[in-house]
Chain A
């Protein structure tokens, strides 16, 4: 595979890694798969681009507001939809799944209605281009890598050293027990959702600079993040990133060799294999005794 494609792998890997990290947090804290990560990322990116190109906002403002929107929407979905449904059905799975899927479609169509259905270019943070051997590496790629690593390290510290971070896993594993112990379950879940929204917003905005963004991207992005967290597993906070890099490598190679449609076939096939054979991913959670 030509070196330039490895740059693509890095970009895609960081992007889906951030999305997978969002999945990871919500899985740990609320025991559900946040299929809305993709649309949230898309919404932030599309909003930012729309405001810059159509309303003439300065880029930093547009980007920041876009990301803030992703956080807000994510938090709102938790408070207004996921939590009441969860409470009313006693934690039943199906209403939550349907709710998440519904929000996925809602965000997609909302974005399409608000920002139009034509693709918009992304907003790069750092416009320079660098040569690295045979490959061209854009400043945006470097920014993406740095931001991704910063996010992962920050989340790692949050999980290990902050009060709410340490309680996250307890809340997700056994909500009733956590409540009985007096843990602020609702607050922790909300924090997890908001953090995931933040990660989605960052990811979407940075990645959109590569190839633009359109309202239908949400589904595809959700699925690549989903596969990344499935492959990586929940064993460690870095597992999503590893899974993301593996998935990015696989997807990029597949597109290079076999074209775009093949990527979708392979994505499905890999997910299927993992579900059937190793559903807990490569890094499995170790049971603490």
Chain B
């Protein structure tokens, strides 16, 4: 008689934390979101900060699936962000639609572009994807600046306050919606991560041949992951645009690419909430730099500092700052295990 007949009762029950991790994290994140909203109930500029945090959080979450989970690095995120925002702008000013439509349309456009770029390079090394997405990012930025008739050029374009079923959505409501969206996307990704699809996506990162051996096309998984990420990023741009009412090309400049890589790396791999934390840290840091020093040089030194930080993180803490905690915990656990043996 094999042991399997005695089944699960032999295994010790998993600790509460492991079994319900995602819901505990979601609850904590919800709490953080409420605190953020509380903060945003003050002056108008605070509401802008909250939405900025949400925009960057969605940018980071957009990088999470293709890059952190699956190891596919796309550098076109400034374009996805911009597409989301300019979609809102163009639909509302040129077609008279509610700018809210920019959200789904921006998502679809971004996903399509991500798919095209990924499919073209699916059989090539990661450097090619990085290269083609970077070239697209540069071309997109040029397009925004150059095509004045379409995008308004360097001056930018306006975005009409969004309406739904004829009711105008206020800035406070946009802010609340932004926090909810980030929270929902975070939960979505946290759950998806542990599902079969999530497991396949994550195994693809270092062991694509194992994915192939299961009869699944590894390149196709990468393409789908990249499309998902682009769509999420685009949402961030749309929310930003609807909140601010006016957008300019320089908001979606190449520095965004860099932040998009940096935020999720800072936060760590094991949970999409780490990406959100990375976003909060970046925005707070930038914001504090701005108000504390108000010096042009220091504001621009932000990217420099981030670049140094990212290299340090890569060198010393490959699993991000949250990952450092993991490493310490595992080392302690292993020491305990060795004693037992």
Contacts and interface: CB of A to CB of B under 8 A. Distances in A.
Determine direct contact between A and B, CB below 8 Å: yes
Contact of A93 (B67, B127, B136, B147): B127
A153 interface: no
Q: Which of A219, A267, A268, A276 has the most CB of B within 10 A?
A: A268
B196 interface: no
Contact of A99 (B124, B255, B257, B314): B314
A143 interface: no
Interface stretch (B3-11, B155-163, B236-244, B295-303): B295-303
Given A261-B146, A272-B120, A275-B124, A226 B131 contact: yes
B145 interface: yes
Contact of B143 (A109, A265, A279): A265
- In the complex, which range does the number of interface residues on chain B fall in? 35 or more
Given A261-B142, A275-B120, A279-B128, A95 B307 contact: no
A103 B315 CA distance: 13
Contact of A95 (B120, B257, B300, B314): B314
A176 interface: no
Nearest to A227: B135
A201 to B, nearest CB: 21
A40 to B, nearest CB: 15
B300 A109 contact: yes
A105 B143 contact: no
A181 interface: no
Contacts of B136: 268
Contacts of B75: 101
B297 A94 contact: no
A33 to B, nearest CB: 4
A260 B139 CA distance: 11
B261 interface: yes
A276 B120 contact: yes
Interface string A77-99: 00001001100110011110111
A257 to B, nearest CB: 14
A99 to B, nearest CB: 6
Nearest to A117: B300
Nearest to B144: A261
Contacts of A106: 304, 307-308, 311
A92 B73 CA distance: 13
A79 B301 CA distance: 25
Contacts of B130: 33, 35, 97, 101
B254 interface: yes
Contacts of A105: 255, 258, 303, 306-307
B314 A85 contact: yes
Q: Which of A93, A109, A117, A272 has the most CB of B within 10 A?
A: A109
A98 B127 CA distance: 10
B311 A112 contact: no
Contacts of A186: none
- In the complex, which range does the number of interface residues on chain A fall in? 35 or more
Interface string B119-137: 0110111111011101110
Given A98-B73, A99-B311, A102-B311, A109 B301 contact: yes
A223 interface: yes
Interface string B99-142: 00000000000000000010011011111101110111011011
Contacts of A89: 318
Contact of B311 (A35, A103, A220): A103
B50 interface: no
A182 to B, nearest CB: 27
Contacts of B311: 81, 99, 102-103, 106
A33 B127 contact: yes
Q: Which of B125, B143, B307 has the most CB of A within 10 A?
A: B307
Nearest to B119: A276
Nearest to A84: B315
B81 interface: no
A259 interface: yes
Given A109-B301, A226-B131, A98 B120 contact: no
A268 B73 CA distance: 17
B135 A223 contact: yes
19 contacts: A35-B130, A93-B125, A98-B265, A99-B311, A101-B257, A102-B310, A105-B307, A106-B308, A109-B307, A219-B138, A220-B138, A223-B134, A227-B135, A264-B135, A264-B141, A271-B132, A272-B132, A272-B135, A279-B121
Interface of B: 67, 71, 73, 75, 117, 120-121, 123-128, 130-132, 134-136, 138-139, 141-143, 145-147, 206, 254-255, 257-258, 261, 265, 297, 300-301, 303-304, 306-308, 310-311, 314-315, 318
Given A264-B139, A268-B132, 16 more contacts: A33-B131, A81-B311, A93-B125, A97-B127, A101-B130, A102-B311, A106-B307, A109-B301, A112-B304, A113-B304, A230-B131, A259-B146, A268-B138, A271-B132, A275-B128, A279-B121
Q: 6 shortest A-B CB distances, which residue pairs?
A: A261-B146, A106-B307, A109-B304, A264-B142, A268-B139, A276-B120
